[in-house]
Amino acid sequence: AQKVTQAQTEISVVEKEDVTLDCVYETRDTTYYLFWYKQPPSGELVFLIRRNSFDEQNEISGRYSWNFQKSTSSFNFTITASQVVDSAVYFCALSDRAMDSNYQLIWGAGTKLIIKP
Identify which range of 16-24, 57-65, 77-85, 93-101 contacts another protein by CB under 8 A: 93-101
Letters for 10-49 (x = contact with another protein by CB under 8 A, - = none) are: -----------------------x---x-----xxxxx--
What SS3 class is residue 86? helix
- Distance (Å, whole) CA 59 – CA 108: 21
Pick the closest to residue 33 from 60, 66, 78 (CA basis): 66
Q: Residue 106 CB, nearest distance to another protein (Å)?
A: 8
Residue count of the chain: 117
Beta bridge partners of 88: 113
Q: Residue 36 CB, nearest distance to another protein (Å)?
A: 13
Which residues bind to another protein, rule: CB under 8 A? 33, 37, 43-47, 50, 52, 91, 95, 99-100, 102-107, 109-110
